[in-house]
Amino acid sequence: MTHAGHVALAGKPNVGKSSLLNAIVGEHLALVSPKAQATRLPVVGLRTDGETQFVFHDLPGLLEPAYAMQERMRALALDGVRRADVILYLHPAAEGPPPDLATAAGLTEPPRAPVLLVHTKCDQVPSAARPGLEQSGIITSAETGEGIDRLLERVAALLPEREFLYPADDLGTQPLRFFAVEFLREAAFEHLEEEVPYSFTAEIEEFRDSTDPVYIRAILFVERESQKGILIGKGGATIKKIGQHARGRLEALLGGRVYLDTQVKVLPRWRKDATQLRRFGFPDLPTETT
């Protein structure tokens, strides 16, 4: 009999959730950034080992929301935690033991599913600190791959008996156009500073995968006219780097060539606007009726 289930990657921003997903799946699916709150929408990564299928959900970081987009990010993170069969609670090894998940996440009641504490980025702590950490959780490093097999073993033991939820060869469930936006955003976090990457998003206007190269036309949005110039950069240098980064990631994922066309527009205050948030794939909050 096969085992399969949903595994949530939960924790504060920047603890290494997206990096761990990528290390587990073996593909760069989820965007990674040293800047906090880069993940806005959950990314699903699959791993099937023999008779066991893991459906990992890389979630936005658990934080106190300050405006509409962050409220949706938190709702998505909490929803992922609620639906999971197993919850991985990630915390950087170097930061010592964390408060329990319910406290850290401000949950009104403890989660239903079992919670495993995962000490991330263990390559950053001296080996003398390991035995102590191992008592309270599983030590991992997305950087070196350490601990991932042990982590999978522990999770597998908690997954219910169930038919596979996806074909055994699949690595992801989301369409290439979703990843096109994510990789453009990843590049924005890499090449833009301060508020600009947070004001940035992208939308795929045209997508043709019957051609070689695959043709993608994306509109890049910022919130202010002044950010438009920053995004484009001197002689178009910045936007060129952003396009190249995203194209490289997409080509690696697809195993084929991609032509990526970009255009910049200003969309004031989109992160606070329910209509625009819906357009960019953020589900309405349960309390919202319009």
Ligand X SMILES: Nc1nc2c(ncn2[C@@H]2O[C@H](COP(=O)(O)OP(=O)(O)O)[C@@H](O)[C@H]2O)c(=O)[nH]1
Residues 139-178 as x/- pattern, contact with ligand X by CB under 6 A: --xxx-----------------------------------
Q: Is the backbone peptide bond immediately before 213 cis, with ω within 30 degrees of 0?
A: yes
Among ligand X, Mg ion, none, what binds residue 53 when CB lies within 5 to 8 Å by partner kind?
none
Q: DSSP readout, 126-194?
A: -GGGHHHHHHHSEE--TTT-TTHHHHHHHHHTTSPB---SS-TT--B-S-HHHHHHHHHHHHHHHH--T
Among ligand X, Mg ion, none, what binds residue 47 when CB lies within 5 to 8 Å by partner kind?
none
- Separation between Cα atoms, residue 259 and residue 224, nearest integer Å: 27
| Partners of 86 in the β-ladder | 7
Q: Does position 276 bind ligand X by CB under 6 A?
A: no
- In angstroms, what is the C-alpha Rg of the chain? 19
Residues 53-92 as x/- pattern, contact with ligand X by CB under 6 A: --------x-------------------------------
CB of 90 to Mg ion, least distance (A): 10
Query: Going by C-beta distance under 8 Å and a sequence separation of 6 or more, which residues neighbour residue 113?
Result: 8, 81, 84, 85, 86, 87
Give the number of other Cβ atoms within 10 Å of residue 8's Cβ: 28
Q: Find the part of the chain contacting ligand X (CB under 6 A) among 7-15, 216-224, 252-260, 272-280.
A: 7-15
Q: Find the part of the chain contacting ligand X (CB under 6 A) among 74-82, 119-127, 160-168, 197-205.
A: 119-127
Q: Find the part of the chain contacting ligand X (CB under 6 A) among 28-36, 166-174, 241-249, 263-271.
A: 28-36
Using CB under 6 A as the criterion, which residues of the chain lie in contact with ligand X when the complex forms?
A: 13-19, 32-34, 38-39, 61, 120-121, 123-124, 141-143
